[in-house]
Amino acid sequence: MSFTVAIDGPAAAGKGTLSKAVSKHFGFAHLDTGLLYRAVGAKVAEGQDPFRAAEELVPEDLLRPDLRTLGAGQAASRVAALPSVRVALVDFQRRFALAAEGAVLDGRDIGTVICPQAEVKLFVTASAEVRAHRRWLEVGGDEAQVLAEVRERDERDMNRADAPLRPAPDAHLLDTSELSIDEVVAQAIDLIAAKRG
């Protein structure tokens, strides 16, 4: 029987790290849905039509080494605002969520749009400053510029017309600003275990 965990939140809040830890703990399949949009954004940057790039996406596209760069993140945010791209990727995500062993999906609209019936919904967040510092440690560069880009992305993700970033009404909020990853993972595991019975 499938069991879906939806983990949403803004960039660099820690949802990817949390999702991997939770999926490993419970033996669930894991999908970083942001990689779908990053892969589409990378294809668009190479000159492909956004809808076609999304429609023709294959799992191997998610293995590109350039998908974790700041540029890929900005490209992902831009293509994610296109309704045609979002529609093309919805089925891919919903099929994944039905994995027999259980599934963890992390992104921006999993609990609100992709899997509104998920058994557990978590919204992971942190202050823009904390998230920018984490991203800067990951990618380097000018930390002030990274903060500006984090804020710009938040603005775009939260105010897009189609599936804006926001917590589902029944999501559990996890603010990671002051917590260690071990503390966040422990809280999430407790919430999921309680729901699984």
Torsion-angle region of residue 171: left (phi > 0), alpha (psi -120 to 50) or beta?
beta
And the tokens for 170?
Answer: 């029944």
Cβ atoms of 73 and 11 within 8 Å: the answer is yes
Q: Any binding-site annotation on 144?
A: no
Q: Across the chain, what does the average pLDDT equal? A: 92
pLDDT in tens, 77-110: 889 889 899 889 998 899 889 999 999 999 989 9
Q: Any binding-site annotation on 15?
A: yes
pLDDT at 1 over 80: no
Q: Which residue segment(s) compose the domain that 127 sits in?
A: 4-196
pLDDT band for position 42 (50/70/90)? very high
Q: How far apart are CA 114 and CA 191, in angstroms?
A: 21
Q: How many domains does the chain have?
A: 1
CATH number of the domain at 138, please.
3.40.50.300
Q: Any binding-site annotation on 13?
A: yes
pTM: predicted TM-score of the whole model, two decimal places: 0.84
Q: Any binding-site annotation on 12?
A: yes
The pLDDT value given to residue 69 = 83
Q: Any binding-site annotation on 125?
A: no
pLDDT at 139 over 90: no
Q: Any binding-site annotation on 102?
A: no
Q: Any binding-site annotation on 14?
A: yes
